Amino acid sequence: MPNSSQPPGTQGYAEQAAELIPQYESISFVAHHAAELHLLPTVPSRILDIGAGTGLDAAWFAEQGHSVVAVEPTAEFRHAAMRLHPSPLIEWLDDALPNLDVVLGRGQRFDVVMLSAVWMHLDATERGIAMPRVASLLAPDGVMVLSLRHGPVPAGRRMFAVSGEKTVELARQHGLGVVLNTHTESLQPGNRAAGVTWTRLAFRR
């Protein structure tokens, strides 16, 4: 049964954590984010990783000298991430889309906001709530990186068909201009065989 105390978008992740964690850890940050690497800062910057999962992305940023606020609402992932990728440059928060009340309450702004494989877990109403909140967290000239999964929905999880075009338009309504819009195959062999593809987007204010 789904855990009713968890945000709806996280459905299935706690139950499948033991299987998913090694799967997510098997692909490097550079391979995963090749399309947007050229947009990421090369000097120490402030990073917000929303839906940070196993901490792989947060750890890469910390290794580059960036300070990272990693947001992950599923305790099984958050606790595993803290064990797998301990770093004084990573601060872990229990918070979730669409509201991000904990993050917003801190009054911080970030040079990079990462939304890797999380946006399609929100329905249209939730996306409408989340976009202005996420946009407000960007520092001047900050970049938001967002990836969308397309294809069969894994059993037990909650996903919606969200197009890149609709996401670009929603971002535009909140002052964000698209600087990257590309489509790629899945890097996971099983997902690729099932026809899973990804849209990779980046925005600036």
- Cα angle, residue 56 at apex, residues 146 and 71 outer, rounded to 5°: 60
% of the chain at pLDDT higher than 70? 85
Residue 44 backbone dihedrals phi, psi, to 5 degrees: -50, 125
Residue 1 has pLDDT above 50, yes or no: no
5-44 pLDDT tens trace: 576 656 545 666 667 667 767 689 999 899 999 999 999 9
Pull the structure tokens for residue 171.
Answer: 């971002």
Domains of the chain from N-terminus onward: 16-34+43-204 (3.40.50.150)
Instruction: Check if the beta carbon of residue 171 is closer than 8 Å to that of residue 135.
Output: yes
pTM of the full structure:
0.88
Residue 50 has pLDDT above 50, yes or no: yes
pLDDT of amino acid 157: 79
102-159 pLDDT tens trace: 999 999 999 999 999 999 999 999 999 999 999 999 999 999 999 999 988 887 878 9
Question: Where in 41-185 does DSSP place strands (E)?
Answer: 46-50, 67-71, 90-93, 110-115, 138-150, 177-185
Give the separation between CA 50 and CA 166, rounded to whole angstroms. Answer: 20
Give the separation between CA 120 and CA 5, rounded to whole angstroms. Answer: 20
